[in-house]
Amino acid sequence: MMPEPIDLRSDTVTRPSPAMRAAMNSAPVGDDQYGEDPTMNLLQERVAALLGKEAALWLPSGTMANQVALRVLARPGDDVIVSRECHAVWHETGGSAANAGVQFSEIGRNGVFTAEEFLAALKPRGHVIYPPTALVEIENTHNRSGGVIFPQAEAERICAAARERGVATYLDGARLWNVAIASGRPPAELAAPFDLLSVALSKGLGAPGGSLLAGPRELIRTALRFRRMFGGAMRQVGFYAAAGLYALDHNLARLADDHANARLIAERLASSRRILLDPDSVHSNILVFRLGEGAPDAPAVVARAAERGVLAFAFDARTVRAVTHLDVTREQCARAAEVLLEIVEGAGG
Ligand SMILES: *Cc1c(COP(=O)(O)O)cnc(C)c1O
């Protein structure tokens, strides 16, 4: 039998540990639609406090959190300014057009943009031709750009400029915990400039599901209605909340290990001339590398790696993503880097 693969496709592939399962098993639960799930109430209060916001609301997925945020902060026909290749544009099956009816303006590069770029893209309200810009969204860390951390000072400038012009601000912080650990900034400081933000329990924290929206009580009350409208209002969700509480207690500080492991892989891969990757661009637990001249295509690299027990993700014909997480050890990451290197180097030419 093949040993379990070293699975670097995503940090969503983690499975609850025995201790996390025990916490879920013993959680007191109730009907969350009556506000009577004590474990969920605890989680929502704890996350709101961690993020320095009045209230938080659990949702089954980060995609639903993003979709609900768009409904809360924008109206059909509005323009939403986002980073290039953000999750809402690439990974939500067109939900933003279907659910909120918004249009996106993608700006900047490598997952980041400046306040000047934001202002240049901003379309004023009340113009006879332009779609009004209702919202600016930042993704931190930025998934498709390789876990890049958005410079906090720039996020503050963008949000201040937005506020001055009556534009709402939203942070897709699915991996905000990674930013907090990598930068040493408390989550509340990272969240402070934004009207509303989301965080995930199901990525690096290793819980089986769930994201939370956090913000002022009034916005969270509106989000509650859209959660139900989208079919995301559930009942005894305390089992998920218990996993989330466990994850916050035990899996937050250890994200530093994932970052060190991603860095280890990146440094090893960067030794190949056939791989285009700057290890300094690996800020957190995601590495995205381009295959240079002489290397096979990404689907071939991914297929050959899978045959050797290493799973990665082909982003496009010449781009591969690998993500570290709590279910891969440092040794496994070192081994994965060797396998990928051998495949790329062994391609002949
Ligand atoms: C994973 C992810 C989401 C969505 O989370 P799901 O729970 O998979 O729906 C949103 N934003 C970013 C940046 C993500 O990486």
- DSSP secondary structure, 16-63, as one string: --HHHHHHHHT-----GGGT--HHHHHHHHHHHHHTT-SEEEEES-HH
Q: What pLDDT was estimated at residue 92?
A: 96
Q: What pLDDT was estimated at residue 3?
A: 80
Q: Which domains does the chain have, with CATH numbers?
A: 18-250 (3.40.640.10), 254-344 (3.90.1150.10)
Q: What pLDDT was estimated at residue 49?
A: 98
Distance 17 CA to ligand 1 centre (A): 22
**pLDDT 10s digit of each residue in the chain, 349 long?**
678 999 999 999 999 999 999 999 999 999 999 999 999 999 999 999 999 999 999 999 999 999 999 999 999 999 999 999 999 999 999 999 999 999 999 999 999 999 999 999 999 999 999 999 999 999 999 999 999 999 999 999 999 999 999 999 999 999 999 999 999 999 999 999 999 999 999 999 999 999 999 999 999 999 999 999 999 999 999 999 999 999 999 999 999 999 999 999 999 999 999 999 999 999 999 999 999 999 999 999 999 999 999 999 999 999 999 999 999 999 999 999 999 999 999 855 4
Distance 128 CA to ligand 1 centre (A): 36
Q: What pLDDT was estimated at residue 347?
A: 58
Please identify which residue in the block is written with the tokens 């081994």: 335
Q: What pLDDT was estimated at residue 298?
A: 98
Of all protein residues, the one whose alpha carbon is nearest to atom 5 of ligand 1 is: 62
- Closest ligand 1 atom, residue 139 Cα: 13
Give CA separation, 198 vs 137, 191, 195, in Å: 11, 9, 11
pTM of the model: 0.97
Distance 233 CA to ligand 1 centre (A): 18
Q: What pLDDT was estimated at residue 156?
A: 98
Of all protein residues, the one whose alpha carbon is nearest to atom 6 of ligand 1 is: 62
Q: List all residues whose CB is within 6 A of at least one atom of ligand 1.
A: 61-63, 66, 87, 139, 143, 172, 174, 200, 202, 211
- Helix, strand, or coil here: 112? strand
DSSP-H helix ranges across 62-171: 62-73, 87-90, 95, 115-121, 152-164
- Closest ligand 1 atom, residue 61 Cα: 7
Mutate to test the pocket of ligand 1, among 12, 143, 170, 177 (most ligand atoms within 8 A of CB): 143
| Phi and psi torsions of 276, nearest 5° | -100, 105
